[in-house]
Structure formats: C-alpha cells, structure tokens
Amino acid sequence: MIEFENVTKIYPGSKKPALENVNLSIEESEFVFLVGPSGSGKTTFIKLLLREILPTKGTVRVAGIDVTKLRSWKVPYLRRHIGCVFQDFKLLPNKTAYENVAFALEVLGRPKRLIEEQVMEVLRLVGLEHKASNFPNELSGGEQQRISIARAIVNHPPILLADEPTGNLDPATSAELMGLFDRINRTGTTVVIATHNKELVDIMRKRVIALEDGKIVRDQVRGVYGYEI
C-alpha cells in the first residue's frame, strides 16, 4: 500500500537531509506507528505520502501510484485515497458536525442521498450520531477529533494518516480514539499514525517504525515506543 525506495529529502537551503535513504513498505490493512523525536522526519514522511513535497531522490508509491511521477492535476485524485487526521482537528467552525463530514463528499459530487447514508454511517461508527447538529464549538476536544476522523474515512479511503491525533487530548480520550483507529483498521483500512504518545504505542503493540535524524533506526512488528531493556 505504501512503499519508499531509496528516498532522500533535502529541503532548499539545508545541507542535512530531513529523510535519508529510507526504504520501507507498508502492506494493505497494516497498522503502523511512526515514532521519533521532533525533527526526526515524521512530518516529511507524511508530506511525501500526500505529495505536498517531492523527494530529492528516490521513489514513493501510494496505493500503487508512483507519486514522484504524478502530474499536478492528478494529485487531488491521489488524495481521495488517503484520509487525514490532524492534531488541531481542522473542522469548519460555521458548519455542524454533520455538515463537516458531508462536505468531504460534496466536493466529490456525490448524490445527496448517498451523502446522507454515508455520513450517518460514520457518525454512528465514531459514536456521535446524536451530535450531528452540533457546531464544533459545542463539542469537546475528543468529540471534535472523532468528527475529524469521521470526515477522513467517510469516503472509505484505503489509507488513513494521522499526525499527532491525540496531541491535544487527555489520556482517557486518547485511549478511546486509539480504540477507534483499531476498529477502522479492522475494516481493512491501512492506518499510519505519527505520534509522541509513548503510553498508547506501548499498549497497542502494533508495528513501530522509529525515525532518528531522517533515518529508520528500528522497525518492529509488535513494537513499543522505545527500545525494550
């Protein structure tokens, strides 16, 4: 589902690579944590997957698509295959929870009846169908993040990326969200989560890819946040 082949990224004006000679593959339906200190290359990794940036050298493939050779007008098509969840939710404040999720389908030109069915389906999945008419400022941080997740998966993308999705949430809410990500993964969605949350990574025992100074320093099938002693 995701493949990096000899990928190096050096930003203009910098001599130090943000990523250096990275090789990895993530299979369909895998659940992967991307860990490492700030500046280790996690954000660059995600930006390459979304084709927000291009590698200095190497090849990045997403869902079988070589994004390094993708023409600009095809980038929106690529991003339809990828759901994204961010630390700051990125909900539209003037739209209800229902409207925020529906908007992701409206921009794709989906029929109104289909939108209604799919939106209510994912709101039930995240446990917030009873908050469909609430605006973001009427929701807790955890509820806002659940709406963000619902919006990311409403189009049934094969890949779900999350960049520090629990960064602004308390431990109990964070654990609930990880359970939700796990349920989404069990439906067949490939899940990649960049995080600093050691406790959740250690509890989940999923595949862990650790980055340091732009290099993969560890890749464990059922890993923990740090090295085990």
Give 178-192 pLDDT, tens digit per residue.
999 999 999 999 999
What is the CATH superfamily name and number for domain 1-81+157-229?
P-loop containing nucleotide triphosphate hydrolases (3.40.50.300)
The kind and range of the H/E element at 3 are strand 2-9
209/218 Cα distance (integer angstroms): 6
Give 127-177 pLDDT, tens digit per residue.
999 999 999 999 999 999 999 999 999 999 999 999 999 888 888 999 999
Domain extent listing, the chain:
1-81+157-229, 93-156
Instruction: With 0.75 as the threshold, say if the pTM is over it.
Output: yes
The kind and range of the H/E element at 160 are strand 159-163
Tell me which residue of 70, 65, 59 sits closest to 7, measured CA to CA.
59
Long-range pairs for 65-71: beta carbons < 8 A, 24 or more residues apart: none
